[in-house]
Each structure stands twice: as structure tokens, then as C-alpha cells.
Structure 1
């Protein structure tokens, strides 16, 4: 079966008996083209189902009005709400957003960056995959002079704009709360420590334990991708230890949910026997029983600031603007899964 030929500007020009240049100008609403010609060109373009070549247009103009957004996963309310706010801010300024999902894969992230660069995006807003250790592809973005804004997950070595929360202080708030509830042996289901935010959460966890005179044991710190299955697997490992923890702090809500499932399957009372705290404040944390205490990450504000920071870069490409590293304050949303003392009193 023959492939249908794509309509070009030359096809429209042949129908109307004018030059391709005149058609191009009419499609871009050039002031030197008459309204009559513009109307005719638009009508024929519609009849022939003409689709403009945005890549060619971007190459000619040096601007595509496209922005790439790279996220680790789309099934997270945290990332989806950030995308929604980024789109809202950028759409108001005439930019369209192309979304790429790495699925925590470094190789897929690299391919996404190549695709966005090929598409001639004007800027990129990104949160790194868990697998990402080498920063060569992000350096590639910078080398091409394309503004790069990192959010949530990003490395200081890149020396670019960044928006996120205070991950170190977040862990302090979690440990302080659990200590107030009488917990003395607190485990940490961690993210991979080569990623800065998880490294800071682990560091905050360790320092807070030291501050309150609690033991710091490597067997209680287990790194993972923080998915539901990771939470289930690690919680089972913790339960098999001779000296079980009386609290678990997971660096992600999905891992916390997996841990909760295993605790309930083993008829362990939460929080009376083992208290539980997650991270990100996903919507399901308030819906499960018991509801899960979690750290609020202010996703909408992160998305808004990331988009506004990119717009400043795009509006003043040649100006030396100081780097914007906005660290939002941490906030712990306390729910039933960690209210050990209150539940005992009641």
C-alpha cells in the first residue's frame, strides 16, 4: 500500500499559482501579504490537510516555542502536578511542552535528551532518573547553550538553576517526630545515595539519630528505587532481623505503601508495634488505613518556580543572571501511621 504523500508549501503554491515564499509568508501572517491571499492560502492548506514542519521552522527562526520536561515517572502525583503547573505557566507565554519519561533509566533519559535536542527545544526542565550517575548528557544540553532547570533531583556539579525542598531538614523533622512518639530503633528505606536528594535524606537521618542519642546501624539503612515492591521486600528483610525496628522511615510514599502492606499481612499493628512515615505526600497516603504520615514536597510551587525560572532565562539569554537555587521549607504531615503515643493514650 502506497504511503500518502505529505502536503508541502509547494503544493499549496501550485494550486494557487503563487510562489512558495508567498505561501510561507501568508502562513506566518506576514504584513506584506494581503488578507485575500492569506485567506486563500489557509483554505487550501486546510483542504489539503497541510501540517507545518515545526522543526524546519525552528531551524529558520532559531526558536521553536517548545520546552522539554523530563521526569522519572508519570504515575506519581508529585511529578504529574509539577507538569501541570509547568504547562500552565509556559502555555500562558506561548510555549508548548514535550514530556519525556525516563522510567528511572539512564539510557532512556539519554535518548530523551537527544530527541529533545533534535526537536530544537528552547529549554529543558528535568528531574533525574535514579540510575543517573554520569552527567555527560546534561552537560551536552549546557554546551549547546540551551537553558536547563533541574527540580527535585539534580546535582550541584552541573551548576544550573535548581528548585526543590530541604531534604536534609525533612529527615530531621521525621526523626524528631518519631522520637517524640517514643521510637528508639528507626529503620530507613532509602533512595540511592548517589542521588543528591536521597544522600541528603540519609545524612539527615543519620545526624538526627546521633542528635537524639539513638543507634546508627547500617543494617537499618537499605537503598532502593522506592517502588511498592521495594518497600515490600525491604520491610520483609527488616522483620526478619533479630532486633526489629519500632519505626520505619521510607524516602518515598510508594515504598511506605509496600511496607504497610507487609506489616498488615504479618498482623503487625501500625503504629503501636511499628510506626511508619513516608515522603512526598501522595494523595493515597490520606486514603489508606491507617493513613500514612508523609513529608509534603510542595509540587505545585516547584513546578511554578521551575517554569518561571526558565522563562527568565529565555527572556534574557545573553544576560548574566545569578543561578537560582530555591530550597523550599520542609513540612511534615502527621497522620495515624505514626501517632504512637496518642493512640496508646486513647
Structure 2
């Protein structure tokens, strides 16, 4: 069966015996077109199942009212709640949001950027994939004069707006807590250090160990994609060490959940034998057994700031774009996985 021919403005014009220009004006509610003609055009358009060509419209108007949002993964409460806040704010201002996930792939991220640029989006709000090292595709966005706002994962070299938390300070807060709970040998499972946020967390971890005169060893630090299975695999390696740590700080809750599973399978008592702290305060961290202590990243606030920064850029197109970092303070939500002493605040 052949594909049905797509209805055009010319088809509607032929039915009504008017010009395509009059149809276009009627569909765009032009004041010079009578109410009777507008109603007739709308009725015929509906009968013929007419779908407007938004890309062509965007080319004519220089504005699509579309905003692209790129995230590394959709199965994360952190990213999904950021998207929800961005959509709430931008929808209220007449924008529709196109959501794409890179799945931590640089190649997919590049294809997504090309697709969004082809669609004539008015702006792009993005968090980089773990694999991304080269910034050429992000520079392509800038070169086209399209507002680019980065959140969570971004690079200073791009000199654009960025929203995130103080990742360096996050590590200090976590290590301080674990030291207070009596930990003396703390391992870190982090993301890849070529990504700025993970580099800062690793740097904060190392400096915090030095501050408390605790040992830093290469065998206690690991880089991975921070998926659940990564947490499982790395935790097995940690438990095979001749001198096991008594605390583990993990830069992602999914990896922390995987690590917790392995420890339970090997009859490691958490937190008595090994205290555990995750990152991003995913909803499951509160209902795991034991509850997983985690760093709260204030995702809704990040989404709010990212959306409003885009709107400010659109309203002020002549404003020079420079590095503009909006940094939020992290908060450690303490739960049973790291609470070895009764002293302190326990969040269930």
C-alpha cells in the first residue's frame, strides 16, 4: 500500500477557492482575514488532516519555540526531575521541549546535536556524556549563535552558562561524615576523571583524606560509568583487597546500590564492617536496606536555573556570552548505610 500524500496549504486553498497565502494567514490568525474564512480554513484543514510544517515555519520566522534538552540517561530521578522543572517553566512561556538521551555515548550525543540544529531549536540545555572529551559539537552550537546552557556535567573551556553543585565540597562533606563515624580507610568509586565534575569529586576526596591524615592509595580509587553493574564489579575488587577499606564513597546511587548488593551477598555488615555513601539521592536510596546515605544535588533548582537562564539569553540576544557558573551547595542526607554511631542526624 502506498503512502497517502501529505496535505499542503495549496490543497486547502483549492478546496476553498482562495489563495495559499490567505490560507497561511488564516492558520496564523492574521487580523486581515475574516472570522468566517478562518473558521472555514480550520474546518477544511481538520477534514484533510493537515499537519503544519514546523521546520519550514521556523525557517520563515527565525523561531521554532523548540528547546532541546540532552541528558546522559533517562532512568535517573536526578535527570528526570530536572527535565520536569525545565518543561514546567518553558511550557508556560510557549516553548516545547525535545528530550534526547546520549546513553553516555559521544557519537550519539553528536548525532543528537546535529538533529536538534537541523530542527532549528531556539536553544539547547545539556549535560555531557561520560565519553565526551572533544567539545567540537558543542562549539558548533555556539558558532550558530544558539543559546547553550550546560548543567551537572559541563566544561569551563566552552565559556557558557553552567548550573551545578560544588562537587569538590561534596567530597569534603562525605569524607568528614565518614571520619566522624570512625572510618580510617576510605575507598572512592568515581566517574571518569576526564569529566570535570568527577575530577573535582576525586580531587576533593584526595584533599579531604590529606586534611584528616588518612591514607591515600591508588588501590582505593576506581573510575567507571557508575551504573549498577559497575558498582557490583568494582565492589568485588575492593572486597578482594588484602586490606579492605572500612568506608566507601561512591559518586552515583546506582553504583552504590550494586556495591551494597555485593556486600550483602558476601555477608559484609553495612555500616559496621564497611560504611557506604552514594551520590544524587535517588528515591530508592531511602527504601534500600539499609537506607543509603547520599548527596542531594537539588535537581529541581538546577532545572529552574537552567530554564530561566535560557529565557534570559533569548530575551537579551546581544548580551555577551561568557563563563557564568551558578553553583549550589550540596547536602548530605545521612541514612543507616553510613551511621555507625548514634550521634548525628538520621534521615529515614
TM-score by length of 2: 0.98
Structure 1 portions without partners, runs of 5+: none
User: What is the CA distance between 1:322 and its match in structure 2?
Assistant: 5.9
Contact 1:127 1:153 in 2 (8 A): yes
1:177-192 paired onto structure 2 within 5 Å:
177-192=177-192
Contact 1:206 1:216 in 2 (8 A): yes
1:204-219 paired onto structure 2 within 5 Å:
204-219=204-219
Q: Which residue of 2 aligns with 1:302?
A: 302
Q: How far apart are the structure 2 equivalents of 1:315 and 1:116?
A: 21
1:150-299 paired onto structure 2 within 5 Å:
150-299=150-299
Q: Which residue of 1 aligns with 2:143?
A: 143
Q: Which residue of 2 aligns with 1:63?
A: 63
Q: How far apart are the structure 2 equivalents of 1:295 and 1:319?
A: 35
Q: Which residue of 1 aligns with 2:5?
A: 5
Per-residue CA deviations over 1:41-66 (Å, capped at 9, x if unaligned) read: 00000000000000000000000000
Q: Which residue of 1 aligns with 2:124?
A: 124
Q: How far apart are the structure 2 equivalents of 1:155 and 1:320?
A: 18
User: What is the CA distance between 1:321 and its match in structure 2?
Assistant: 6.2
In the alignment, structure 1 residue 76 sits paired with structure 2 residue 81 = no
SS in 2 for 1:4: coil
Q: Which residue of 1 aligns with 2:39?
A: 39
User: What is the CA distance between 1:151 and its match in structure 2?
Assistant: 0.2
Q: How far apart are the structure 2 equivalents of 1:46 and 1:280?
A: 47
Q: How far apart are the structure 2 equivalents of 1:73 and 1:190?
A: 17
Contact 1:226 1:252 in 2 (8 A): yes
SS in 2 for 1:341: coil
1:312-323 paired onto structure 2 within 5 Å:
312-320=312-320, 323=323
Contact 2:159 2:324 in 1 (8 A): no
Structure 2 portions without partners, runs of 5+: 344-348
Contact 2:154 2:196 in 1 (8 A): yes
SS in 1 for 2:232: helix
Give the ranges of 4+ consecutive aligned residues of structure 1 lying more than 4 Å apart after TM superposition.
Answer: none
Contact 1:190 1:202 in 2 (8 A): yes
Aligned length: 343
In the alignment, structure 1 residue 100 sits paired with structure 2 residue 100 = yes
Q: How far apart are the structure 2 equivalents of 1:39 and 1:323?
A: 50
SS in 1 for 2:341: helix
TM-score by length of 1: 0.98
SS in 2 for 1:326: strand
User: What is the CA distance between 1:227 and its match in structure 2?
Assistant: 0.3
Q: Which residue of 2 aligns with 1:337?
A: 337
Contact 1:309 1:324 in 2 (8 A): no
Q: Which residue of 1 aligns with 2:21?
A: 21
User: What is the CA distance between 1:324 and its match in structure 2?
Assistant: 3.1
SS in 2 for 1:82: helix
Per-residue CA deviations over 1:308-333 (Å, capped at 9, x if unaligned) read: 00000011112336653100001000
Alignment RMSD: 0.9
User: What is the CA distance between 1:341 and its match in structure 2?
Assistant: 2.0
Q: Which residue of 1 aligns with 2:346?
A: none
Contact 2:190 2:226 in 1 (8 A): yes
